[in-house]
Amino acid sequence: MYNQHLLLSDEVRAALDANKPVIALESTIISHGMPYPQNVETARACERIARENGVTPATCAILGGKLCVGLNDKQLAYLGKAGHKVNKVSRRDIPVMIARKADGATTVAATMILAALAGVKVFATGGIGGVHRGAEVTMDISADLEELSQTPVTVVCAGAKSILDLGLTMEYLETKGVPVIGYGTDELPAFYTRRSGFAVTYRMDTPQEVAAAIRAGQEIGYRGGMLIVNPIPEAYSMDKDYIDGVIARALEESEAQGVHGKAVTPFLLARIAEATGGDSLASNIQLVYNNVAVASQIAKEV
């Protein structure tokens, strides 16, 4: 359906018209998730990995009020250099960004919306948002979880970010009816580490299995999405006790400084990267690459 606010790149439009596989990629990871220039290098590498796997990458963002699905290299570089000056956009922000003809980097939730509008079924990211620690008091719960329950896009990630309350995140996803599928694992990965202690809904070991579930959902008009949790490669997995200690100290610092809302995640990721001497950033980059490769394999099967 024609949408005056939606702008597909020529490459993405040609792939969709030819019924060739496309995967969505988010842009908040570029502007808010990593420092420059690693953010731009990572974005370019993600697109290259998708193409090497026979899939067209569709990095999503809002530029000049247009919902862009598929960016060129100049646009990727702009988002990386602008960093936090670019709006961090979730579901609630999209109409305002359009009306103001503003620029915005899309979160998981917003990227799912843009992908669904364009007809892209599979989306690769680093880690989803979730229920923040202390949410029983603050009610700080990511819009990503609601989006997964209502938008039919399959998200491939390395689990929920380990700065979150992973147990409550899994409970929330279960309540919302979102299947959490462990890709080659029975346990929810915790972003920097391969294990969390929490069981997934189902385990699947091949792209064909995942694609069959996605197609079944499409055939019955399934309303929500699916969450595919893909563990970080063993070589880049960090010791759980070590990273948990680093996260605990970063959380204490964020509370002391009064950081809240959508500023929490970028603040914590930056503090964790500093505390680990850049090791966490290296792990973050590698897990994203791994997710792009797996999402590409799934998209080809779908």
Residue 50: give its domain's CATH number. Answer: 3.40.1790.10
pLDDT value of residue 30: 96
pLDDT value of residue 2: 61
* Phi, psi values for residue 89, rounded to 5°: -110, 125
Which helix (DSSP H) or strand (DSSP E) does residue 208 occupy?
helix 207-219
- The answer to the question of residue 147 being in a domain is yes
Nearest to 78 by CA among 95, 57, 97, 103: 103
pLDDT value of residue 38: 94
Number of domains into which the chain is organized: 1
Q: Which residues, including other chains, have CB under 8 Å from residue 119's CB and lie 6 or more apart? A: 16
pLDDT value of residue 259: 83
Q: Which residues, including other chains, have CB under 8 Å from residue 300's CB and lie 6 or more apart? A: 21, 53, 54, 55, 207
- The answer to the question of residue 222 being in a domain is yes
What's the rounded Cα separation, in Å, for the pair 224 and 195? Answer: 26
pTM beyond cutoff 0.85: yes
- The answer to the question of residue 162 being in a domain is yes
What value, to the nearest 5°, has the Cα angle with vertex 148 and ends 284 and 44?
Answer: 35
* pLDDT, mean of each 10-residue run, the chain (302 residues): 88 97 97 93 98 98 98 98 96 98 98 98 96 87 96 96 90 97 96 91 98 96 95 92 87 85 76 84 94 98 95
What's the rounded Cα separation, in Å, for the pair 90 and 85? Answer: 16
Domain that holds residue 205: 6-301
> Is residue 23 a contact partner of residue 292, using CB atoms and an 8 Å limit?
yes
- The answer to the question of residue 161 being in a domain is yes
Active-site residue set:
26, 161
What's the rounded Cα separation, in Å, for the pair 83 and 268? Answer: 16
- The answer to the question of residue 25 being in a domain is yes
- The answer to the question of residue 1 being in a domain is no
